[in-house]
């Protein structure tokens, strides 16, 4: 497996290779617009952790493939990967123009990642040693990992690491990089629109598949219409791994509209058991005022519902045994407070699966 963080399922694989995150690697992203945009490594992990084995995913994969084929690795730079990709997928040729290659220089200099104000970096390591180690080298791009290099308004739009101009705050410094105040960047918008370079396909009629889930919730028939409810932190796999953030996450509840709750005979703090995709999840009810009629909201990232469009059954149940006592009381009080459609954010996450 290749991953940039340790997950539970890694115990089921034989080898886990430490891959670089987006902040530790370079690459190209293609948006829904079809615009290819280059992203650049923020820092060199080996500079801070010399014994680290973290590498970009493509370096690991190419090394493994080369070993299996019994040949030397010939992908040494990001440019090698891009050229190989274009050779096998010509329609992606535009990604090469998303940013200059590793040989790019401005007046003989690479582009500096850090502003001149970073000149005090030696003092950062003064308690360790007054002898500053050599700055890491970036072989994959035309950027440096230090303040040494070119810094100015002639920087290509796709490689601008920061906006800085003497006497200007950062927001106003952008004016120096634009053709006019609030206008476009001097060197054009970053990225390349790939679709503009391709032949247009014939128009095809789209036929929507038949709905497999219930169109509305019917408590009498025991069918549920589930809709996702997102939370900025609770729905984020990375953010929710932080203990500090986890302590502030909202309670795990089924979200039910106030009008629907009256019709279905539900009150804040009641429990619903919903069965979907061969699993049953029992949670308390939270009354909200933002859901569409006939829908039950589930907290994305806090319950293991992957396919909400699958048929789901629902029934009202008593509070689970493990939720009895003070915790059940706390949940009921918190849910009752949400009868005014205010979010719950004062208790840790608790998910009950039967």
Query: Residue 164: inside a domain, yes or no?
Result: yes
Confidence of residue 1 (pLDDT cuts 50, 70, 90): very high
- pLDDT tens-digit readout, 155-203: 999 999 998 887 888 788 888 888 888 888 888 889 999 999 888 888 8
Note whether 184 and 257 are same-domain residues: no
Kindly report the CATH number assigned to the domain that includes residue 247: 2.40.40.20
Of 134, 52, 139, 131, whose CA–CA distance to 102 is shortest? Answer: 139
CA-wise closest residue to 43 among 134, 146, 118, 129? 146
| 252 contacts 303 by C-beta, under 8 angstroms | yes
Average pLDDT of the residues in 35-57: 94
Given this model, what pLDDT does residue 328 score? 45
Average pLDDT over residues 240-264: 92
Mean pLDDT of 301-328: 79
Judgement on whether residues 168 and 100 belong to the same structural domain of the protein: yes
114 shares a domain with 64: yes
Number of domains in the chain: 2
Query: Do residues 106 and 157 both lie within one domain?
Result: yes
The answer as to whether 230 is a domain residue is yes
Do 154 and 298 fall within a single domain? no
The rounded radius of gyration (Å) of the Cα atoms in the chain is: 27
The answer to the question of residue 221 being in a domain is no
The pLDDT value given to residue 214? 64
Higher-scoring residue by pLDDT: 207, 45 = 45
Instruction: Encode pLDDT of 203-215 as tens digits.
Output: 888 787 665 666 7
Together in a domain, 108 and 181: yes
Share of the chain above pLDDT 90, in %: 59
Residue 14: count other Cβ atoms within 10 Å of its Cβ. 5
- Please state whether 109 falls in left (phi above 0), alpha (psi between -120 and 50) or beta: beta
Instruction: Report whether pLDDT(323) > 70.
Output: no
What is the reported pTM? Answer: 0.70
Q: How far is CA 98 from CA 22, 76, 101, in A?
A: 17, 20, 9
CA dihedral 232, 234, 236, 241 (to 10 degrees): 130
| Calpha distance 166→208 (Å, rounded) | 56
The answer to whether residue 340 scores a pLDDT higher than 60 is no
Q: What is the pLDDT of residue 335?
A: 44
**Does residue 58 sit within a domain?**
yes
The whole-chain average pLDDT of the chain stands at 86
Q: What is the pLDDT of residue 322?
A: 62
Give the contacts of 124 (CB within 8 A, at least 6 positions apart): none
Tokens found for residue 326: 């003070």
Q: What is the pLDDT of residue 213?
A: 60
Question: What CA–CA distance (Å, rounded) separates 27 from 41?
Answer: 9
Mean pLDDT of 250-255: 95
Query: What is the domain extent for residue 156?
Result: 2-195
Measured distance CA(68)–CA(72) in Å, rounded: 10
- Asked if the model's pLDDT at residue 122 lies above 70, the reply is yes
* Tokens 């440019």 -> residue: 79
pLDDT greater than 70 at residue 332:
no
Report whether pLDDT(338) > 60. Answer: no
Last residue of a domain, one of 195, 217, 245: 195
- Per-residue pLDDT at 354: 30
List pLDDT tens digits, range 297-311: 999 999 989 888 888
- Same-domain check for residues 176 and 316: no
């Amino acid at each position: 497996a290749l991953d940039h963080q340790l997950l539970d399922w890694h115990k089921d694989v034989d080898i886990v290779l430490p891959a670089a995150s987006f902040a530790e690697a370079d690459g190209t992203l293609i948006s829904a617009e079809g615009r290819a945009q280059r992203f650049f490594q923020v820092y060199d992990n080996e500079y801070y952790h010399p014994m680290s084995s973290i590498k970009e995913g493509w370096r690991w994969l190419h090394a493994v493939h080369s070993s299996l084929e019994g040949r030397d690795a010939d992908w040494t730079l990001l440019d090698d990967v891009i050229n190989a990709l274009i050779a096998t997928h010509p329609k992606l040729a535009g990604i090469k123009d998303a940013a200059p290659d590793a040989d790019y220089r401005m007046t003989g200099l690479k582009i500096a990642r850090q502003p001149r104000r970073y000149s005090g970096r030696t003092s950062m390591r003064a308690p360790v040693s007054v002898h500053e180690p050599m700055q890491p080298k970036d072989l994959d791009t035309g950027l440096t990992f230090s303040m040494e290099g070119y810094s100015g308004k002639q920087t290509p739009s796709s490689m601008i690491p920061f906006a800085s101009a003497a006497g200007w705050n950062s927001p106003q410094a952008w004016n120096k990089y634009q053709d006019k105040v609030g206008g476009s960047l001097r060197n054009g918008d970053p990225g390349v629109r790939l679709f503009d370079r391709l032949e247009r396909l014939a128009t095809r009629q789209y036929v929507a598949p038949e709905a497999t889930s219930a169109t509305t919730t019917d408590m009498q028939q025991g069918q549920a219409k589930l809709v996702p409810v997102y939370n900025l932190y609770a729905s984020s796999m990375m953010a929710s791994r932080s203990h500090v953030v986890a302590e502030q996450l909202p309670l795990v509840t089924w979200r039910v509209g106030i009008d629907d709750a009256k019709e279905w005979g539900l009150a804040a703090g009641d429990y619903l058991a919903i069965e979907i995709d061969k699993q049953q999840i029992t949670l308390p009810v939270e009354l909200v005022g933002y859901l569409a009629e006939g829908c039950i909201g589930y907290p994305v990232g806090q319950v293991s519902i992957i396919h909400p469009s699958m048929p789901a059954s629902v029934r009202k149940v008593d509070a689970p045994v493990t939720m009895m006592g003070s915790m059940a009381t706390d949940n009921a009080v918190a849910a009752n407070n949400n009868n005014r459609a205010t979010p719950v954010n004062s208790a840790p996450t608790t998910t009950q699966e039967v």
